[in-house]
Chains A and B, each alone.
Chain A
Amino acid sequence: MSVLIVAEHLRGELRPVTLELVSAAQELEGPVAVAVIAKDPSVLTDAVDVEGVNEILSVKVDPEEFENDVYQQALEQLIEQREPQVTFLGFTVNSMGYGPAVAAKLGLGFASDVFSIDGTAGGLVATRAFYGSKVQAEVEFPGHDRVMLLLRPTAWPPAEGAGSAVKEEGSVSSSCSRARHKEFVDVATGDVDITTADFLLSIGRGVGDKENLPQFEGLAGKMGAILSVSRPLVDQGWMPNSRQVGQSGKTVKPKVYLALGISGAVQHLAGMKTSGTIIAVNSDPEAAIFNVAHYGAVADLFEVAEELEKLY
C-alpha cells in the first residue's frame, strides 16, 4: 500500500516520531513518501532521508512553525494530487489540530492512537485501545480507498540507515491561516530534575487527597527516591509540573520506577515505559499499568506505603 507521511518538526528540528512512522510504513510494503511542510524544508530533508523512504516532498509554506490551517490545506492537496492509500501522522498535539479535519473533509477512513497495523489480510487492519486501555480492538475501514491513521509515538522504532530518496518540490497553494503561532513559552524548571533520578516513587490520582502528599514525600525521602507524579496531581495544583511524568511532562528512565495508584494511561506510559524496572501497585487488577510493569501488586497503596515506612 502506498503511504504518505507528514514529517513533524519544531524549532527547526525533526521530531523523532517522524522516523517511527517510516518504520511503520515499511510494514505495508508499498512506496513511502514523506512530506516536509516548512518555511525552509531543505534544512530537514536530509534528516528524513533514511532507509525505506522513496520520495521526499518539500512543501514550502509561509509560517516558521506549525499552524493547523496551513498543514490542513497542504495535506488535503497532497492527498488529492497523489492519492496515497494510507496517510500517517503521529498521534501528537499538532496532528490533533488538523488530522481529523482533513479526514472529515475528504471522507477518509480514520483511526487515532493506533499502535499496530497489518496490511496483509486484504485490507488495512489497525489495532488501538478502547475503554481506558483495558481492552484492544482490531479495526478495519470498509468502503474507504483512502485511510488516515494517527500512530502512537514510540510504538515503532525509528527507521535508520542512509536513504536514497528522490527529492521533489511539492506544490500547494495556501490561503489564510486563522490560528497563528506567536511564540513558545518553555516550562519553568523545578526544584529537582526527575529525569536524572535513579529511583522514582511516582504517585497518581489513587492517593486521593492533597492532605496525603506529605506522607509520600516522607516515604520517598526514607526510601532514597525522588517523588514524581501523574498529570492529575499537577492539574489540581498539588505539585509543580516539573514533577510530572508523561507525554506533556518529563520522559524518565530511572533504574526503578515505583508507581502507586497510577492507571497507566497512554500519555503517562509514554514518559516512563522504558524505565529499567517498573513496579506497580494498584487496587484494580485490570489496570493498564500492569501491561508495562515488570512487577505488580494488586493492593491498597496506603497499606503498602505504611508497611514500606516500617521497613526503612
Chain B
Amino acid sequence: MKVVVAVKQVAVLGDEVEFTDDERDVDPDYLDYALNEWDTYATEEALRLCEAAGDGEVVVVSVGPEDAEEAMRRCLAMGAHRGIRVDSEDQLDPIQVARALAEVVRAENPDLVFAGVQSADAVQAATGTALAELLDLPRVAVVTKIELGDGKATVNRELEGGLLDVVEVDTPALFTIQTGINEPRYATLRAIKQAEEKEIDVRQPGDLGEPAYRVKKMFVPPKGEGAEMLNGNAADVAQKIKEIVEEHTG
C-alpha cells in the first residue's frame, strides 16, 4: 500500500503587515511558516491506512523553496517514510501547483493520493481536485471517513451544515482530507531527530503553464464601519461587555 500526501508549508501573518514594493504580496519579513493544518490530518490518515494494511509507504510531496522542507520534516517525524520536494521559489496558483505535483505523483504509482481540503493561508480548496484531474484519478473532496474495499472505497463527504454524503469511489483515487477525520499523532523528540535522516528528494519542475490568476494589488481590508474597540484593562472590557449584552438582549 502506497499513499502519496501533498503537503504545504503555509505562511502565517502576525499582527503587523507590510507589502512588497510592487504591492503584489506581503513582505516575507512579516511571515512565519507552519505545516498546513489540513495536511497533518492527511498525513495521519495515510499512516493509519498503511498501519492497518500491515505494510506500506507514505510519501510526502511538496512544491516550494528549500525552507518548505521543514514542514515535510514534521510529516516525516510523524512517520512518513520519505519526501519529494519540487523546487520552486515562485508564488504559484493551485493549478500550477497541481501541474508541478502531477509528474512526481504519477511516477510513484500510488494506491491513494491525499491532499488537504484547503491551505490555511490561501484558502483555495482547489489543488487536490486539479491534481486528480491531471492524474485522471477518481476523487472526492472534503472527506471525513475512509473505508477501503476491493478496488473501491466508501468515504464520507462532509457537506454544508455537517450533512454527510456517503460515496462509493473506485480506487486508486484522490481524496481531499478534512480536519477532524482522526487525531493526528505528536512526534516524539526521538522521531523528530530520526526524521532528519530521512530522504527528501529534490526535483525541478517542468513547464507549469500560464498562471490561472495574477495578483494585481494586495491590501489591508478596508475596515468599513469596523468594530468599536473596547479599551482599558480586562475589568473595563468585562464591564463594557456586560453593558452591551444587557442592552442588546433585553
Q: What residues of A have a CB within 8 angstroms of the CB of B170 in the complex?
A: 178-179
Knowing A101-B129, A182-B154, A311-B239 are in contact, say whether A296-B210 is a contact too (CB < 8 A). no
B191 interfacial by beta-carbon distance below 8 Å? no
> Are B130 and A307 within 8 A (Cβ)?
no
Pairwise interchain contact B245-A93, C-beta atoms closer than 8 A: no
Instruction: Mark A127-139 against chain B: 1 for CB-CB distance below 8 A, else 0.
Output: 0011111111111
* A291 interface residue per 8 A CB criterion: yes
Residues of A within 8 A of B16 (CB): 286
CB contacts under 8 Å to A, within B8-35, are 11-17, 24, 26, 31
Q: What total of A-B pairs shows CB separation below 8 Å?
A: 283
- Which of B50-58, B65-73, B92-100 sits within the interface? B92-100
Within 210-238 of A, Cβ neighbours of B (below 8 Å) are at 223-224, 231-232, 234-237
**Interface membership of chain B positions 149-186, coded 1 if the CB is closer than 8 angstroms to chain A and 0 otherwise:** 00000101111111111111110010010011001000
Beta-carbon nearest neighbor of B170 in chain A: A178
Q: How far is the CA of A66 from the CA of B93 in the complex (A)?
A: 27
Q: Give the residues in chain B near A47, CB-CB below 8 Å.
A: none
Please measure, in the bound complex, the distance between the C-alpha atom of A303 and the C-alpha atom of B227, giving whole angstroms.
21
Residues A232 and B179 in contact in the complex (CB < 8 Å), given A125-B216, A131-B13, A135-B219: yes
Main SS of the interface on chain A? Answer: mixed
CA distance A276 to B247 in the complex (A): 12
Verify B213–A97 contact, CB threshold 8 A.
no
Query: In this complex, which of B93, B126, B218 has the most chain A Cβ atoms within 10 angstroms of its Cβ?
Result: B126
Q: CB of B148 within 8 A of chain A?
A: no
A271 to B: closest C-beta gap in Å: 9
> Given contacts A97-B141, A110-B93, A141-B214, are A279 and B241 in contact (CB under 8 A)?
yes
- Whether B169 lies near A235 (C-beta < 8 A) is no
Whether the pair B218, A297 counts as a contact (CB closer than 8 A) is no
Interface members, chain B 82-136 (any A CB < 8 Å):
93-95, 98-99, 117, 120-130, 132-134
Size of the A side of the interface (Cβ < 8 Å), in residues, is: 105
Contact B140 A104 (CB under 8 A): no
How many Å from the CB of A246 to the closest CB on chain B?
10
Closest to A280 in B: B227
- Residue of A65, A110, A199 near B213 (CB, 8 A) is A110
Chain B residues in contact with chain A, CB under 8 A? 11-17, 24, 26, 31, 93-95, 98-99, 117, 120-130, 132-134, 138-142, 154, 156-170, 173, 176, 179-180, 183, 209-210, 212-221, 223-224, 226-231, 234-235, 237-242, 244-245, 248-249
8 residue pairs, one from A and one from B, having the closest CB atoms: A307-B238, A235-B180, A178-B138, A296-B227, A101-B133, A303-B234, A100-B126, A110-B212
